[in-house]
Amino acid sequence: MVESIIGIRGKDFVVLAQDANTTKYGILNMKFDTNRLFKLSEHCAMLAAGEPGDVVQFSEYVGKNIQLYKMINGIELSPYACANFTRHEMATSLRSRNSFLANLIVAGYSTNEHDQQRAQLYAIDYLGAMVTSNVVAHGFCQFFALAIGDRLWKEDLTVQEALAMLQTIVNEMGKRMAAYPHCVFVRIIDAKGIRVLDNMYPEKIIVTKPSELELQTSADMMDIHS
Amino acid sequence: MGDDMMSYNGGVALAMKGKECVAIACDKRYGVQNRTIATNFTKIFQYGDYCFVSFCGLATDVQTVSERLRFRVNLYELREQRKIKPTVLYNMLTNILYERRFGPYFVFSLVIGLDPKTGR
């Protein structure tokens, strides 16, 4: 819940962001360069957040199986297929001995010219419910990301606008979340593949000093020396 | 306990029968408890020309059961070389749900259709 993963879909790209913290015991910040992105194919990737062991185990399992499909059949799975496969694995494991407490975002760019919607973005929660949307997020940042997305997302979103929206979300997270995201890793998936963009940092909060007037008590105002 | 599962994602579906017609409606909200995450999550699925099924309840089971039913209906259509009838679809669905008698899918389903021969 504490880790944030966000996806924003534009006209022909998807921007993926994840906070880079790993916390322990609710209070310690162990690491501030954690990678939560798992590549599924040349144009498809998955962000995963949740129970640390489950995240890595499940993501590697799904990622390797998708790569195996490519090796056996010689073609890469589309983002839609990757997402449905992932959802199926998550749903099957739910009622078995090993269930995974991992929330995922699967995003990709479809290389099939016949697809109407080339940039694809799916959110899969830990129960295996899949949904597709323009802005998706998991964790506490969901409250901020979805609301800001409702306000700022529009058709034909450009990369700059998406990154500006993301910066707004990160600033809000920095202001309001007790688990302060020191650094946010940003990637983009488009026709050229998966690329890493510059890190994003929350805006520094400037708070005015408390005034001297507050230091005065009613006892001070009584003149006891005369 | 079961009620918790049913209201985790929420959802509503309504079906009605009229004279030589049937109608089914559902909401499109995908939410988690008090948060709405998406508004494009339809819960009605079409299997055949005149058959619709709607699933309400836990979202993951809505998707799992609809996919399972789609699999069985596709096999039926390949083997029988004809479209499935509402009564047959209904029986198939009850079979799928009863397979999980002790570990159920948390869905309520509505099956609606027009029998092509009788028009009922």
Q: What is the pLDDT of residues B38-50, one digit of tens each?
A: 999 999 999 988 8
Is B44 part of a structural domain of the chain? Answer: no
Residue A36 has pLDDT above 90, yes or no: yes
Instruction: Centre a 10 Å sphere on the Cβ of residue B38 and count the other Cβ atoms it contains.
Output: 17
Nearest to B103 among A91, A95, A136 (CB): A95
Nearest to A64 by CA among A41, A83, A90, A88: A41
Residue contact B37–A131, C-beta within 8 A:
yes
- Measured in whole angstroms, the distance separating CA A102 from the mean position of its chain's CA atoms is 12
Summarize the confidence of residues B13-24 as an average pLDDT. 90
Residue A27 has pLDDT above 70, yes or no: yes
Residue B120's pLDDT band (cuts 50, 70, 90): low
CA dihedral B67, B72, B76, B78 (to 10 degrees): 60
pLDDT reported for residue A211? 84
CATH topology of domain A5-215: Glutamine Phosphoribosylpyrophosphate, subunit 1, domain 1 (3.60.20)
pLDDT reported for residue B19? 86
Contact call for residues A125 and A132 (beta carbons, < 8 A): no
Contact call for residues A30 and A23 (beta carbons, < 8 A): yes
d(CA A121, CA A106): 6
Torsions phi, psi for B109 (to 5 deg): -120, 150
Contact call for residues A122 and A131 (beta carbons, < 8 A): yes
pLDDT reported for residue A162? 95
β-strand pairing of A184-190 with A193-200: antiparallel
Arithmetic mean of pLDDT over chain A? 91
Indicate the number of domains in chain B. 1
Per CB-CB distance under 8 Å, the chain A contacts of B58 are 127, 129
pLDDT reported for residue A226? 60
d(CA A120, CA A107): 6
Residue B117 has pLDDT above 80, yes or no: no
Give the predicted TM-score (pTM) of the model.
Answer: 0.88
Is B29 part of a structural domain of the chain? Answer: no
Residue B1 has pLDDT above 60, yes or no: no
**Lookup result for tokens 């390797």:** A64
Per CB-CB distance under 8 Å, the chain B contacts of A94 are 60
Please report, for residues A25, A74, B82, B91, B100, the alpha-carbon distance to residue B95 in angstroms, rounded to integers and kept in the order given: 46, 38, 21, 6, 9
Q: Which of residues 16-75 of B touch A (CB under 8 A)?
A: 30, 32, 35, 37-38, 40-41, 58-60, 62-64, 67
Residue A22 has pLDDT above 60, yes or no: yes
d(CA B6, CA B60): 11
Residue B2 has pLDDT above 80, yes or no: no
d(CA A16, CA A10): 11
Domain ranges of chain A: 5-215
Per CB-CB distance under 8 Å, the chain B contacts of A120 are none
Q: How far away is chain A from the Cα of B41, in angstroms, using its nearest Cα? A: 7
Is B13 part of a structural domain of the chain? Answer: no
Judged by phi (left if over 0) then psi (alpha if -120 to 50, else beta), residue B36 lies in beta
d(CA A169, CA A163): 10
Residue A1's pLDDT band (cuts 50, 70, 90): confident
Residue A35: enclosing H or E segment and its boundaries?
none
ipTM score of complex: 0.86
d(CA B2, CA B19): 36
Q: Which residues pair with B46 in a beta bridge?
A: B52
Q: Is B113 helix (H, G, I), strand (E, B) or coil?
A: strand
Per residue in A121-176, pLDDT (tens digit) is 999 999 999 999 999 999 989 999 999 999 999 999 999 999 999 999 999 999 99
**Domain limits for position B85:** 49-115
Q: Which of residues 74-113 of B touch A (CB under 8 A)?
A: 103
Is B57 part of a structural domain of the chain? Answer: yes
Nearest to B63 among A87, A136, A146 (CB): A87
Per CB-CB distance under 8 Å, the chain A contacts of B60 are 90-91, 94, 125, 127-129
pLDDT reported for residue B119? 54
pLDDT reported for residue B33? 87
Summarize the confidence of residues B59-76 as an average pLDDT. 95
Residue contact B9–A129, C-beta within 8 A:
yes
**Lookup result for tokens 């994840």:** A18
At B75, which amino acid appears? Answer: L
Please report, for residues A56, A121, B95, B106, the alpha-carbon distance to residue B99 in angstroms, rounded to integers and kept in the order given: 32, 33, 6, 13
Residue A84's pLDDT band (cuts 50, 70, 90): very high
Summarize the confidence of residues A91-110 as an average pLDDT. 92
Is B9 part of a structural domain of the chain? Answer: no
